[in-house]
A and B are shown apart, each in its own frame.
Chain A
Amino acid sequence: MAFGAFSNVDAPVVEAPRRRSRAAFWLLLPGIAYLGATYLAPLVSLIITSLKAPDLVNYDIGRYLYAFDIGNYATVLGEYWPIILRSFEYAAIATVAALLISYPLAYFIGVVLRRYPLWQALALILVIAPFFMSFLLRTLAWKAIFADEGPVVGFLQHLNILGANAHLNGTPFMVIFGLTYNFIPFMALPIYTSLERLDLRLLEAGADLYANPASTFFRVTLPLSLPGVVSGTLLTFIPATGDYVNASPQFLGSTQTTMIGNVISDTYFNLSDYPSSAALSIVLMVLILIPVGIYLSLTKTEDLL
């Protein structure tokens, strides 16, 4: 459902006579075996790597032996907990901001523009347009626009909102701005898909029963669009927590805005400290799955796909 916007579902859904068959087995086997080998096996590989210990006899950078060193977890948690906390904080703020920005947009496209299909199609294309332009180049474009000599900083200094020596790039604001910007389409599309199916007669029924627009919204529209909100929130929060492009000093961040993804990539590439990198990845995965599980059980959205 996440990218339902791409699929023009105009025919009614037809329930097939479901049957058990060996055909199902052969249809599923290649794809499932593939995911087993390239998704599940690497997770096992990560756990094994996270428990490795350095080879003290033939010491070399990037050389580790199979071991059962749970101490790796204690080390990374002790060393990086402020960064882990910061990642969740940035991702949470960006998710809320993206939700507040995207909901009216999705409502506009899915409900208001419903009577103008051409405009609706055009607006949808504009929402998915960022997918087709390099994410790194778009982020660098923001960096240039918000640069110290750029138009935005100059304007804000002219209004005395920013001091003469102030800058925006490298600040937490900029990282959260970048994250929010990047995930607006991921938030807006699933919400749009939910709102597009909303029966407008329900809103009229609400008005007929003397509900004011606000209570119609909170008691009819919002609950009916909840599956889209859940889906969009997950599609934003999860990748945002692990993102390391926005927070990297080459892009919108600085050494003060390091997120957990930056640490995972630095320990992997620069230090060749594969056990620490793997342990942090497992920690991130577990820490994300806990709130996601709670969130899903609270909102009771079983059919995620």
Chain B
Amino acid sequence: MSGLAEGAVLGRLEEAPRPLKRPKARRGNWGVAFYSIVILVLLLIPIGYTIVFSFNIPARTNVSWRGFSLDNWATLLSDPRVVAAFGSSILVGVAATLVAAALGTAIAIALVRFRFRFRTGLTLLLFLPMATPEVVLGSGLGSQFLNIGVDKGIATTIIAHIMFCISFVVITVRARVASLDPAIEEAGRDLYATPGQVWWRITFPLLLPGIVAAALLSFALSFDDFIITAFVSGNFETFPKYIYTAAVRAIPAQANVFASIIFLLAIVVVLASQFSAAARRRQLAREG
């Protein structure tokens, strides 16, 4: 075991003493462990499949394995339609994430810090978009754009994506706001900091890990959304929309390459945030 893990384990041992030997429970744990590893492997099979087939020798279809090659990665930008669809999804994802993160963070702060009327109604309004099937959200927004005569395209797609991301931002950032001690901000105000300084130099940096997690989640939801996008995007093509259309004929291996790149990037970001959190915990444990 590495020093990192030991530090964290020791930190936890202080709270709860290690239980006495319980052989029965331990045998059960091995069963659960084996079962869980099987499930985790199953979860990863389609991901592995998609990445492996990005290295397939190119041909008209990308269904059967012909052998290892780097051609698809080298000719990544050769299919203009895949590239355009990928770029569109990145653009929509970033725009929707920025707006949803701002709107959602404001709601999260208000929910934790203030008392106000219609709280139950507000909670319900935040919960409902997550409890509504995507086809209903999509056909609803689609009908609305149709009824008021708005042309569907990139703008309507971003509008829709912001909507379904807000609730997820609220629940993720709220936990972070709840763990933030208001006394720190109080201290800032006592030292004559302006509200802007308090926000940018105290509140925002402390909320940042929560906001980053929420942004990552928003981007993942937006980037991967197909059902709602189908109803609100008109002729505007996102990456999932392209895959859905291409699935009728054959999906070029470049799509696998793009999906693999996004996947590996996201995993790197997640790993980095986990390691920095672990390092912070270790530092806290050392300072006692």
Contacts and interface: CB of A to CB of B under 8 A. Distances in A.
The secondary-structure label for the interface of chain A is helix
B270 interface: yes
Given A12-B179, A27-B109, A108-B32, A131 B147 contact: no
Contact of A38 (B32, B127, B141, B255): B141
A135 B240 contact: yes
Given A14-B181, A38-B141, A129 B47 contact: yes
B240 A24 contact: no
B107 A32 contact: yes
Nearest to A14: B181
A22 to B, nearest CB: 10
A115 B267 contact: no
A242 B127 contact: no
Residue among A104, A264, A305 with the highest chain B CB neighbour number at 10 A: A305
Interface residues of B, number: 114
A159 interface: no
A118 B224 contact: no
B149 interface: no
A41 B144 contact: yes
Interface string B229-255: 011000000011001100110010001
A61 interface: no
Given A6-B217, A137-B255, A30 B106 contact: yes
A244 interface: yes
Contact of B220 (A119, A132, A138): A132
Interface string A148-190: 0000000000000000000000000000000001001100000
Residue among A27, A102, A242, A292 with the highest chain B CB neighbour number at 10 A: A27
Interface of A: 1-4, 6-14, 16-21, 23-25, 27-28, 30-32, 34-36, 38-43, 45-46, 48-49, 101-102, 104-105, 107-109, 112, 114-119, 121, 123, 125-142, 144-145, 147, 181, 184-185, 199-201, 204, 207, 213, 234-235, 238-239, 241-245, 250-251, 260-261, 264-265, 268-269, 274, 277-278, 281-282, 284-285, 288-289, 292, 303-305
Interface of B: 1-2, 4-5, 8-9, 12, 16, 19, 22, 24-25, 28-29, 32-33, 35-36, 39-40, 42-47, 49-50, 53, 63, 103-104, 106-107, 109-110, 112-116, 122-123, 125-137, 139-144, 146-147, 159-160, 162-163, 166, 168, 170-176, 178-182, 209-210, 213-214, 216-217, 220, 224, 226-227, 230-231, 239-240, 243-244, 247-248, 251, 255-256, 259, 262-263, 266-267, 270-271, 274, 277-278, 281
Given A9-B176, A42-B140, A234-B131, 20 more contacts: A3-B172, A6-B172, A6-B216, A7-B209, A20-B114, A24-B110, A24-B113, A24-B116, A48-B143, A49-B143, A49-B146, A104-B39, A116-B9, A127-B43, A129-B43, A133-B47, A245-B227, A264-B136, A277-B139, A292-B131
